[in-house]
Amino acid sequence: MKRDADRKLVPLTTVAITFSSTTLPKYVFINLFRYQVNTYIPPLVQCYKCFKFNHSAKICRSEQMCSSCSGNHLYKECLTDTLLCINCGGAHLAISRDCPIKKKKLEEKRNLIVNQHRTFASIVKDDNNFPVLKSKPVHKIVNNSDNIVNDSTFLNKKSNVVVEKNNEIEKIANNEIILNAIVKSLVALANSTGTEPMTLNKIKDVFLSNLL
């Protein structure tokens, strides 16, 4: 929608689309129809009080001017048919699109917006501003995996030793002959009244004598 010279809203034949990209596509497809994409240039702000540019009537401190003859009155109060633009002095309304001053300012605004888009896109694509992240060297990853494998092998060997010892203890606990020999040896050693020191060889001899 836009406003005409009488400040009435008029429907437009264009559609505004926002793209999540740094560059614009040439075309878009809507309902199977292809439409050309153009950079959106916001309308040039023109004051409806003094009819100068880049500010609105709400903040304008100048006197009311006529958009038709450039006189110091409202255009509705104008009594002359002579057209005089307050900006360029041409024979047209101050709000006319044919005003060379208005065309120049629109072109300046368009160039400013286009250059801003190009500058932003070039910054994003510049490797100096957004360098590629370096990946971790492959050989270090391989070395780490080798260490993990070695540690796993060591743990497996240690686990096997523990299992073997547990199996041996279980075999001894289930062997009645060995258990009886151990009990008899402990009783014999406890009842021993000799003065000889208790050595490993003496304990072994007592155990073997009870085992046979």
Domain that includes residue 207, residue range: 138-211
Range of weakest confidence among 20-24, 157-161, 195-199: 157-161
Q: Which of 90, 125, 160 is the last residue of a domain?
A: 125
Phi and psi, residue 25, nearest 5°: -75, 160
Q: Which of 74, 102, 125 is the last residue of a domain?
A: 125
> What six digits make up the tokens of 153?
């092998």
Average pLDDT, rounded, for the chain: 78
* Contacts of residue 28, Cβ cutoff 8 Å, sequence gap at least 6: 17, 34, 35, 37
Are residues 42 and 110 located together in one domain of the fold?
yes
Phi-psi category of 106—alpha, beta or left, where left has phi over 0 and alpha has psi -120 to 50? alpha
Are residues 24 and 102 located together in one domain of the fold?
yes
Mind listing the pLDDT tens digit for each residue in 169-182?
676 666 777 777 77
Strands (E), 100-197: none
Q: Which of 103, 125, 147 is the last residue of a domain?
A: 125
Kindly state whether residue 133 falls inside one of the protein's structural domains: no
* Contacts of residue 98, Cβ cutoff 8 Å, sequence gap at least 6: 90, 92
Are residues 96 and 165 located together in one domain of the fold?
no
Range of weakest confidence among 41-50, 133-142, 185-194: 133-142
**pLDDT-based confidence at residue 59 (cuts at 50, 70, 90):** very high
**pLDDT-based confidence at residue 204 (cuts at 50, 70, 90):** confident
> What's the predicted TM-score (pTM) here?
0.45
Are residues 20 and 114 located together in one domain of the fold?
yes
How many Å apart are CA 100 and CA 94, to the nearest integer?
11
> What six digits make up the tokens of 130?
């957004």
Range of weakest confidence among 55-69, 109-123, 154-168: 154-168
Are residues 115 and 164 located together in one domain of the fold?
no
Are residues 94 and 155 located together in one domain of the fold?
no
Are residues 115 and 168 located together in one domain of the fold?
no
Q: How many domains does the chain have?
A: 2
Between 54 and 128, residue with greater pLDDT: 54
Compute the CA torsion angle 29, 32, 33, 39 (nearest 10 deg): -10
Kindly state whether residue 131 falls inside one of the protein's structural domains: no
Predicted pLDDT of residue 13:
77
